[in-house]
């Protein structure tokens, strides 16, 4: 199959591109800087420039004749949320997806991809308590939830013309980026521990299962609408801390107060001090075979600890 990938040079994008190539797909990468994409990705990838995703559709040559699109584009959320950063976060997701959809709709139906898998996030649900949240749960009302609601709305706008799945991804376990990469230096130094009391849930998921589930949604004709990309067993922050300490053979007892994170990160700290007990109801219903369903085995695999 010919698959178009946006956000192909990020940690997740590179893993997805590698998996697509490994199974024999032809990959087209949409990038603001096609030269950088060419340097960062396998020589078999076909890069196309998309210099202003929030303001203009991708080039027709990149989309026409493709079988599917994986939309992974988005400004990193893990940064201090200044007004400028919020605008970038919002525009990269909502504006970028709107432009992508406009490009898809501009194609003649016989040249249009049959499926769009558009990245989303469990931030859709906002700060929640202990209740398990499947795809039918309501949206939250905070900044990030508002961004995700708008992000999904733009992707689903093309749902009458092709199959669309919006993949609400949780906290991805990878040593190369995301929350785990930020935690590791502290835990390896023996100064890690639960955050803000540790009672908030963490909807974790191994990078391999994010990649596997994205390709599963790409291939499975029944995968449509919202799909939670999380492991079957979400854990509390305290349990995640204890397990990470055990895997690293380091103590994990030093608590991190919420006020310290708020001073360091400002409003963005809410994504660490609160959480969602999101569960992969749709993936389990469709029979997705999780590669890493248990937290400790997942962490050991990610960190190369037997």
Give, for all 306 residues of the chain, the pLDDT tens digit. Answer: 999 999 999 999 999 999 999 999 999 999 999 888 999 999 999 999 999 999 999 999 999 999 999 999 999 998 999 999 999 999 999 999 999 999 999 999 999 999 999 999 999 999 988 999 999 999 999 999 999 999 999 999 999 999 999 999 999 999 888 888 888 888 898 888 999 899 999 999 999 999 999 999 999 999 999 999 999 999 999 999 999 999 999 988 888 888 888 887 899 989 889 999 999 999 999 999 999 999 999 999 999 987
Q: How far apart are CA 110 and CA 242, in angstroms?
A: 53
Looking at the domain assignment, is residue 178 inside a domain?
Answer: no
Residue 261's pLDDT is 80
User: Whats the size of the chain, residue-wise?
Assistant: 306
- Angle separating helix axes 295-303 and 237-248, nearest 10 degrees: 50
In eight-state DSSP terms, residue 139 is P
Q: How far apart are CA 231 and CA 227, in angstroms?
A: 12
Q: What residue numbers bound the domain in which 35 lies?
A: 2-170+205-230+280-288
pTM (2 decimals)? 0.96
Residue 56's pLDDT is 95
- Domain of 105: which CATH number? 3.40.50.720
Looking at the domain assignment, is residue 177 inside a domain?
Answer: no
Looking at the domain assignment, is residue 253 inside a domain?
Answer: no
Q: What's the domain count of the chain?
A: 1
Q: How far apart are CA 61 and CA 34, in angstroms?
A: 14
Backbone torsions φ then ψ of 138, nearest 5 degrees: -75, 165
Paired tokens of 58: 């991708």
Looking at the DSSP bridge assignments, the partners of residue 30 are 6, 48
Which is nearest to 163 in space by CA: 206, 227, 208? 227
Looking at the domain assignment, is residue 140 inside a domain?
Answer: yes
Residue 249's pLDDT is 93
Looking at the DSSP bridge assignments, the partners of residue 236 are 201
Looking at the domain assignment, is residue 257 inside a domain?
Answer: no
Q: How far apart are CA 154 and CA 150, in angstroms?
A: 6
Which is nearest to 29 in space by CA: 67, 92, 65, 71? 71
Looking at the domain assignment, is residue 223 inside a domain?
Answer: yes
Q: Do the Cβ atoms of 164 and 115 come closer than 8 Å?
A: yes
Looking at the domain assignment, is residue 272 inside a domain?
Answer: no
């Amino acid at each position: 199959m010919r698959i178009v990938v946006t956000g192909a040079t990020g940690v997740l994008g590179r893993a997805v591109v590698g998996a697509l190539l490994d199974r024999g797909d032809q990959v087209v990468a949409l990038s603001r800087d096609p030269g950088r994409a060419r340097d960062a990705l396998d020589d078999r990838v076909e890069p196309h420039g998309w210099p202003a995703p929030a303001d203009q559709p991708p080039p027709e040559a990149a989309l026409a004749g493709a079988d599917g699109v994986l939309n992974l584009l988005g400004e990193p959320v893990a940064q201090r949320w200044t007004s400028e950063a919020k605008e970038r976060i919002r525009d990269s997701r909502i504006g970028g997806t709107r432009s992508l959809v406009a490009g898809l709709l501009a194609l003649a139906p016989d040249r249009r991809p049959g499926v769009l898998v558009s990245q989303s996030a469990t931030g859709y649900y906002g700060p929640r308590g202990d209740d398990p949240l499947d795809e039918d749960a309501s949206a939250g009302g905070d900044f990030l939830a508002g961004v995700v609601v708008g992000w999904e709305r733009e992707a689903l706008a093309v749902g009458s013309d092709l199959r669309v799945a919006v993949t609400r991804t949780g906290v991805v376990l990878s040593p190369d980026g995301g929350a785990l990469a930020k935690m590791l230096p502290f835990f390896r130094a023996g100064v890690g521990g639960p955050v803000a009391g540790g009672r908030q849930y963490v909807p974790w998921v191994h990078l391999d299962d994010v990649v596997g589930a994205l390709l599963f949604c790409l291939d499975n004709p029944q995968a449509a609408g919202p799909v939670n990309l999380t492991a079957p067993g979400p854990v509390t922050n305290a349990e995640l801390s204890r397990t990470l300490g055990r895997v690293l053979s380091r103590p994990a007892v030093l608590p991190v107060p919420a006020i310290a994170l708020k001073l360091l990160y400002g409003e963005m700290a809410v994504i660490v001090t609160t959480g969602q007990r999101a569960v992969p109801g749709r993936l389990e219903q469709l029979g997705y075979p999780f590669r890493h369903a248990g937290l400790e085995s997942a962490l050991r695999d990610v960190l190369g600890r037997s």
